[in-house]
Structure 1
Amino acid sequence: MSLKRFLLVRLGRLLTYPVRRKLRHFETACHDPEAVQTALLFHILRKQAGTGFGRDHGFAEIRTVADYRRSVPIAPYERVAPYIERVQKGELNALLADRAVRLFALTSGTTASRKLIPVTDDYLAAYRRGWNMWGVRMYRDHRGRRIAMRPIIQLGGDPEEYRTPAGIPCGNLSGYTAMVQRRLIRRMYAVPYQAGKIKDATARYYVALRFALGRDVSQHAAANPSTLVQLARTLDAEKDHLLRDLQNGTLRSDIDLSPEIRAELTRGLKPNPVRARELAAVAAKMGRLYPMDVWPTEGTIINTWTGGSMGPYLRQLPRYYGEPPVRDLGLLASEGRMTIPFANHTASGVLDIWSHYFEFVPEAEIDSPQPTVLGAHELLLGRSYYILPTTLYGLYRYHISDLVRVTGFYGQTPEVEFLGKGHRFANLTGEKLSEYHVTRAVDAAAARVPQPLTAYTLAPVWDDVRPYYALFLEEPDAGAALPAFLAELDRALGEENVEYASKREGNRLGPVRAALLPAGAWAAWDRARLASTGGSAEQYKHPCLIGDLSFRASMPVTREVGA
């Protein structure tokens, strides 16, 4: 080990000592989740009792967990949305006892509007603590790969898309945290945070690779593995331009960047002809340039989601990255971190009982008017539940629609894995498309292009190059206007769901296609579904969205039609 490497490792040990001690305390706390969770709940209620939401729901009179459940109903974002609108205008006490909101983290919602999650100092403290414990555990488990204190490739988003009437920035949380990192920590990331401000997806990938090629990267990090697949494909497709820029210390002039971002990015660029020649020789020999050709597999690790619908993308990673260890990032969203994975190649993670108070509803009861509600200490191995977090920043018994399964226990604290967004969502690449989005988009498209729709369902279809969504229709509905209708539907889906539009723009999703079925197929399918699920024909609702990737294989598709 070189002297420089030795000193960096020692510095890393010194900097992470407080986190390592905190991790030990967390592991101890996992032996009594009921006590930890109850204490956290009442800390939240005491702190927020004087807020508008707290007064409206009688927080000051709540004495037991049962009281809390009676006072606050299970509900999605729409219940807190009016309070958040008041916070946006500067009335923080409508929802929060905090002195400031640092950011509204933007996320795609189950309605047409995007959700705004208030990021407070409490939020940031929990967010950083969870990431730090995840990171220390991950580094500890991979000492032999010598990844500590080596650069990371991670793409963030735009930390400020716009501001509220009170001047609070609204944007991407990962982009914001990258922007406010201490300079020493920021140097550990190969991609400058300014890259998150780039709107064009191809340009964003190119810039990330341009800055990473000259660094000794140890980790490839992205929430969704589709990002890593697209990054790898861009590296190979743009290798000639990238190596020329690396050699000359430039950033190609024809990529779509604003003058301000280009000036910020190019300020620190320097020529690296030695590295450029080295990689050019590798590309000439291999006839390609993939991440595993640039950063040897034995010295890297992949950090990405592995649960839910990520399987098809994960299966593509070895082609580009080899087979380094894969560590799941945990169940996390703009709404907060839910789990901390402690092992490789699994979506399971220990419930983050320090950050949020958690309740769970058994999968079969989620639509019941009076479902069974359980605490973290009451879960059973192998069972599936919807998770309901209560947070220190204004989300109470929040129905995020995440379905999880209990895979084990760490001490007495459950380990859970993410299964998906329930039966009302589809999520191929992070778009989190809801049935609400689909029905509104179909109505809008039909208003622009008249199209017969005897019955329809939208469902994801896997394709190794570009997965897409298919609109399942019967053959008699396939008239001359169908291609134009599909083009309008694709556009309308992007209008309803900004994440869908982003994934389409970034070429991670292909355009909507029609999958045509024989006449009468939907009536037969609905009869069979009603017979299997029970209930009355009067209450039955034909699903307009099915998130199952295997759905197409189960249907008698005669042909497909594109826009």
Structure 2
Amino acid sequence: MAQYVPALEYYAGGLPLVSTSYASSEYYFGINLQPLCNPTDVSYTIMPNMAYFEFLPVDDATTGEVVAPEGDAARLVDLARVEAGREYEVVITTYAGLNRYRVGDVLRVAGYHNAAPRFTFVRRKNVLLSVESDKTDEVELQRAVERASELLRPHGAFVAEYTSHACTKRIPGHYVIYWELLTTSDEAVSKETIDGCCLQMEEALNAVYRQSRVADGSVGPLEILVVRPGTFEELMDYAISRGASINQYKVPRCVALPPVVDLLDSCVVSAHFSPGLPHWTPARRND
């Protein structure tokens, strides 16, 4: 929910933003013992009496690939043996009958409260975007949106909602980012500014993506499509009309279903492409 912090801070007018607990539809995991901390510093202490918690180590924070394959219980780590600074995918066994259920959340051990580990939420484990050899996950996409949003602040605007799509209708394929903007002033955001946001997003993405753009030419320029206000409410209405729970609904950070892509495309008010190539330097060989 990090993308909502700027909007919440704007409307809260200085009131503290409090995240009290970490839970999902599967189970209740833990609580934030420092509720008045900065939203970027929130961590949750797991409550071991709620369920039996185990963790799959994540081998690389960039790719998000899990070391242990499906069904390999040998690499599972219990709550008492997690290591500070490492990332894990959480696995739970519950009183209700879930047995070693992979929730899909990746957590990082941020420290300890007495002997109980504190975890920060990192991302969902699935890769969001991929055109060729590139892989971009949720946390990386969020970071890129935040970096690009800095160009909007002088114009009194920020990204209220966003989602993404890997467009492969033409060669090379490219990333499409749908933005719904919220403006706090009468000044319009210029085309040049949003074009620059495209390049800023590319600069924030990983080296494999930038190599694909610069050296390989296997990924095309990133595209930002600005949609009209209310678009993401229409997207929620569409999901609910097809059975999604209004209590559990979250804006998808990547869309692929043709009806959803068509809905977003029908709401576009302006299209913008990256005006240049992101920085990329080939790795040096040590012969």
Tell me the TM-score normalized by structure 1.
Answer: 0.27
Tell me the TM-score normalized by structure 2.
Answer: 0.48
Which protein has the bigger strand share? Answer: 2
Give 1 or 2 for the bigger CA radius of gyration: 1
